[in-house]
Structure 1
Amino acid sequence: MKRPGSTFHQLVQRIPADIAGRAVGMRLAIPVGDETADILITPGRKDIRTSLRTRDPREARERQAVAVAYLEAVWRSVREGPRRLTHKEAVALAGEAYRTLVERVEDDPGPVEGWAIREAQNLQAEFGKFGFGRAGLKIGVGEAERRRESLEELLGPVADGFLSRRGLIIDAESRARLLEQLLSADRQASLLNLRRAEGDYSPDSEAGRFPAFPEATKATSSVNLLDLFDGWARERKPSQSTVDQWRKHCESFLAFLGKDDAGQVTKTDVVRWKDALVAAGGSPKTINDSKLAALRVAFEWGARNVRVSSNPAAGVAVAFKVRLQDRMQGFDDVEAAAILNAAARETRPAIRWLPLLCATTGARVGEMAQLRGEDVITKDGIAAVRITAEAGSVKNAGSERTVPLHPAVLEAGFMVFVGDRKGPLFFNAERRKADAKKPSHKIVAKNVASWVKELGLETGRAHRKDPSHAWRHRFKTLARAAGINDSVADAIVGHAPDSVAKAYGTVTLATMRDAIARIPVPR
């Protein structure tokens, strides 16, 4: 969504009711691109809101996926309660703090005096003599307690930052262990930066002592990725073609990986597969929106249903920019007239009517190809077609709509063609083979595209004009030229509103009829 008065996309997620009380006081470090959004959960707070710091919808979706995965891990940690950090995990987190402190000032470490002061503070904390807020002025405090409170005062905020970045909630013993390791790492980094400030850039011989933080994706028992995908498919109920295609993508990933335990899959595994797909010449859009999307939904379902501990595919995507010269276009008047005139001479119902229906509604060809006789209606004296999931498949919930018929469609005799027919208008469902996988309406759509190509027009991706989808681009262009409000045009073609404000209210059938009548049909 977008915040009122801002062009940036925004993430909004409700704090789960079952952990709202326990989450109070937590500091979140939500990953947003290369930065973090630091948020404190205060009493009474109901949701998490932060800017995704981008205007690009694709980048916003990618950043949202990473942020949501982070928040889900945080909520899971709250539900499970404080966990124990192993010694290796504590050293690994300290290593992250070390690298941050070193890399941030690598090219310009600043004056020697600053790092000398930092080293003095570390020594004060080590001997329990740092700070005035917690331990410095206390009397009668034991040496161990004074040391612990000194470390907390100096390095507690650092610990909070790195724990919140990973959504970790740890017990008191683990926090003490982490503070000790942070002190060691901070001393190592401070002394290195001091040498660099003096002009000594020789390598840090101990930099490699920090291990990587263990990937927290291991499940308690073996879980098959395909089982996760099937669980998602049963609940989400996408079209069968999507299920078939995306399941194959999951199978391809498993074949690439050589193992089938979803709980053992790491983000590195997913990135390696993504890189292999790019190296093989795969389309960035196909990789992001189909192949990686299949993994994302499967793992996300698994994480939400406590089959795996996290979603390693969250945030993994091919970075690319759509160039202006690559954007698809609509048919021009000459091309549109050639197709519609040729269709008018056809006797095959799909070829005769689908180009005209798409040209005058801006609908997807699949939506029109699956029309049934009962989907052609007259409401309030307005002839219209209903696009509904009952007829086949729709892209999303917003795609279900009722669209008035253009006067040119009525003049051509479409209502006479429909008559009192029931069932699919453009294919015979009884002739479908029992083992057929591709839906009949998609076969029809493919046949229409092949027919358009046979007309000799310059269509296809090389010419930036899809044989059927170019009608959709053309419709939006003509709608703008006719002065049709964007919200009305969106309601006709089934585009989701681009803001919450535009989602309020409805566009009436009469309003859409008047708008559609203003769309010219070339002769």
Structure 2
Amino acid sequence: MEATQAGEIEEGQRRFPLTDEQLAARLYQIRLDLDEQGRLSQGYAAIGIDDGYVANLRAARAGTLSDIELHDLVGPQIERFRLAGNVTVVPRSREWRRLAQVLCEAELEALSRMVERDEGDFTGTPPETSVVRTSLPDEPVPPVPLSDLFDDYIKSRQALGKHADGGRRWTVAIKSLVKHLGNSDARKITKRDLNSWLDKLQGEGISTRTVANVYLASVRAILRWAYEKDILPTNVSEGVRQETRKKVRSRERGYTTAEATRLLRSSIGYVPAEPANPSNREKSCLTAAKRWVPILCAFTGARVVEVAQLRKDDVRQEGEHWVIRISPEAGSVKTGVYRDVPLHRQIIALGFLDFVKSAKSGPLFHNAVKPEKFLDGARVTSGRLSEWLNRTGLVPDGVQPSHGWRHRFKSLGREIGLSDRVVDAIQGHAGRTAGDSYGDVSIVAMARVIDVLPDYELEPALVKTDEG
């Protein structure tokens, strides 16, 4: 208990310090408020004022009482102020005696007002004393730690099926802002603070796009939510903007047919190099990811991490069609809604179903065991796959490994004249118009579109080992 109280006192010392006179003024007001409430009770009229108590208060103010006698008079009040973090006096010190005497004066002044009220005088005009002249500061407002706001915001989003990763990418932004501010109290953040923080981030070499889309976006979302929930009185991020430099594009965002074919040949024919030390052999799940994830992305337009999180049970037959289920249960889906996507004939012809059949239960492309770790496992695999593709020169400049297939899938669909609504459903994109929300896109409709996609010329497949 002592350790807990000490911790509370330490915290209070930093937050709510008051002078002796301010403490006396507070006690004075507390006594008058209690008196006013007491007069609403029928039995209050029978309560008198103890003359001995008044005499002791006067003696205390005159400095003629011992420490023990002072403690009997106002010791409990001093202790309450100490625990509240208003004062740090050591019992029986000179500072403690002075505070005790000032509090006794406050008690005397309050008793004088009570006597006046007993006589019908409610003007409340006391003589000019140090107790009455002292103005009290505003009641201390508890801080709102930005980290706590962040945690509460993420929990509220997760309850809606969002931020399955716990807001991991936003964590760096929150920590950066707290470090810049020098404190974590969200109540103290100003618009100027945010603007100076954005300038600092750019000075550190962080791109304006990342500053806008990650750092500022995360803080704005949290502060707006806190304001809407009446946790903060204002939203200081409103109106704060980060200008971004328009991205110069020197080429298409997706793979060309030649680039896609080259990558898929290397991927399907991939064989890991044999290390000198067998313990350094590449994990079988990563080898499988390098072989199958690229071509699955090529024919589904899915995100790399969505394919990397596939489990054995996510591959199954629906009527005449083999499908993969891209599900939030396996890790994360940006829309929070599962989707079944038919497999292209070339994927089946290359032996994907045989691979799935021989795989053990659980994730196909990572080793995570617990469901809550599936997303992390898929992300690790996705990252290592991107590293491998970049290292081997299979990803052209200007193409993002994680989105190149999505752009190509969309572009290819337009070239062939496929239904945008069905292509969107295959990729997990929301409908573009209100009318798109009516009706469902069936597996048969998706299979009809996917069957139109041409095969890639993968023969002869290149047997590609990883030398790095």
**Cα gap change, 1:328 to 1:304, in 2 (>3 Å):** farther
The question of 1:508 aligning with 2:442 is answered: yes
Superimposed CA distance per residue, residues 200-235 of structure 1 (whole angstroms, 9 cap, x where no aligned partner):
xxxxxxxxxxxxxxxxxx994311111110001112
Q: 1:280 aligns with which of 170, 192, 204?
A: 204
Whether the aligned pair in 2 keeps the contact of 1:229 and 1:297 (CA below 8 Å) is: no
218-227 or 259-268: bigger deviation: 218-227
**Equivalent residue in structure 2 for 1:488, among 417, 422, 444:** 422
Distance 1:304 1:377 in 2: 45
Match for residue 398 of structure 2? 464
Q: Is contact 1:219-1:307 (8 Å) kept?
A: no
Distance 1:389-1:340 versus aligned 2 partners, 3 A rule: same
Matched with 2:93 is none
Shift of 1:367: 0.1
Mapped pair 1:440 → 2:377: yes
Classify 1:242/1:328 alpha carbon distance in 2 versus 1 (closer, same or farther; 3 Å). Answer: farther
Letter in 1 for 2:333: V
Whole-angstrom CA distance in 2 between matches of 1:326 and 1:295: 32
* 1:299 Cα deviation from its structure 2 partner: 1.4
2:317 corresponds, among 365, 378, 386, to: 378
Aligned to 1:409: 347
For the 8 Å contact 1:360–1:521, the answer to whether it is kept is no
User: Aligned pair in 2 of structure 1 residues 372, 357: CA closer, same or farther (>3 Å)?
Assistant: same
Higher mean displacement: 342-351 or 250-259 = 342-351
Question: Given the superposition, is the C-alpha separation of residues 319 and 375 from structure 1 closer, same or farther in structure 2, using an over 3 Å criterion?
Answer: same
**Contact between 2:342 and 2:443, CA under 8 Å: does it hold in 1?**
yes
1:309 paired residue number:
233
Deviation at 1:326, TM superposition (A): 6.2
Counterpart of 1:392, as a letter, is: G
| 1:465-491 Cα deviation digits (max 9, x unpaired) | 122421111111111111111111111
Whether the aligned pair in 1 keeps the contact of 2:212 and 2:243 (CA below 8 Å) is: no
CA contact (8 A) 2:289 2:385 kept: yes
Q: Report the more deviating stretch, 248-257 or 268-277.
A: 268-277
Q: What is the rounded CA distance, in whole Å, between the counterparts of 2:404 and 2:419 in structure 1?
A: 21
2:301 to 340, 346, 362: 362
1:475 aligns with: 409
Secondary structure of residue in 2 paired with 1:457: coil
**Secondary structure of the corresponding residue to residue 517 of structure 1:** helix
Deviations 1:402-445 (A, max 9, x none): 1111111111111121117421001122499x9x9981111111
The alignment partner of 1:330 has SS state of: coil
1:397 aligned counterpart, secondary structure? coil
Q: Equivalents in 2 of 1:219, 1:370: separation in Å?
A: 50
Please say if residues 360 and 405 of structure 1, whose CA atoms lie closer than 8 Å, have aligned partners that are also in contact. yes
Task: Kindly provide the amino acid, as one letter, of the partner of residue 309 in structure 1.
Answer: P
- Distance between the aligned counterparts of 2:326 and 2:442, measured in 1? 16
**Cα pair distance change 1:497/1:220, threshold 3 Å:** farther
Contact kept, 8 Å, 1:266 with 1:312, in 2: the verdict is yes
Q: 1:107-506 counterparts in 2 under 5 A?
A: 220-237=141-158, 238-239=162-163, 241=165, 243-320=167-244, 322-325=246-249, 329-346=253-270, 348-397=287-336, 400-419=338-357, 421-430=360-369, 439-457=376-394, 459=396, 463-506=397-440
Kindly indicate whether the alpha-carbon contact (under 8 Å) linking 2:309 and 2:365 is maintained by their aligned counterparts in 1: yes
After TM superposition, give the deviation of residue 360 of structure 1 in Å.
Answer: 0.5
> By how many angstroms is 1:259 displaced?
2.2
Q: Once the 2 structures are TM-superposed, how far is the Cα of residue 397 of structure 1 from its aligned partner?
A: 2.7
% same residue: 35
Conserved 8 A contact 1:219-1:264? no
- SS across alignment from 2:322: strand
Shift of 1:270: 1.4
Letter of the 2:341 counterpart: V
Q: CA deviation at 1:295?
A: 0.8
- 2:59 maps to none
Query: What SS does the corresponding residue of 2:449 show, helix, strand or coil?
Result: helix
Instruction: Report SS of the residue matched to 2:430.
Output: coil
Q: CA deviation at 1:301?
A: 2.7
Classify 1:476/1:309 alpha carbon distance in 2 versus 1 (closer, same or farther; 3 Å). Answer: same
**Which residue does 2:104 correspond to in 1?**
none
Residues in 2 aligned to 1:505 and 1:324: alpha-carbon distance in whole angstroms: 39
Q: Which SS does the other structure have where 1:402 is aligned?
A: strand
Residues 1:489 and 1:232: Cα distance change in structure 2 (over 3 Å): same
In structure 2, relative to structure 1, the CA distance for the partners of 1:240 and 1:401 (3 Å cut) is closer
Tell me the amino acid that sits aligned with residue 376 of structure 2.
P
Equivalent residue number for residue 48 of structure 1:
none
Aligned partners of 2:432 and 2:202: how far apart in 1? 31
The answer to whether the 8 Å contact 1:404/1:509 transfers is yes
Q: Distance in 2 between matches of 1:357 and 1:340?
A: 10
Relative contact order (alpha carbons < 8 A, sep ≥ 6): 1 or 2 greater? 2
Greater gyration radius:
2
Alignment correspondent of 2:114 = none
SS at match of 1:426: coil
Please list the CA deviations of residues 239-278 of structure 1 after superposition, one character each: whole Å capped at 9, or x if unmatched.
4645233122111101111222111212222122122223
1:402–1:482 distance in 2 versus 1, CA, 3 Å: same
* Deviation (angstroms), 1:386: 0.9
Task: State the distance in 2 between where 1:358 and 1:500 align.
Answer: 28
Cα distance change on mapping 1:336 and 1:507 into 2, 3 Å = same
Which position in structure 2 is the counterpart of 1:45?
A: none
Q: Deviations over 1:459-514 (max 9, x none)?
A: 3xxx2112242111111111111111111111111122233232322211111111
> What is the RMSD of the two structures over their aligned residues, measured on CA atoms?
2.6
CA distance in 2, matches of 1:515, 1:224: 51
Question: Which AA in structure 1 matches 2:355?
Answer: F
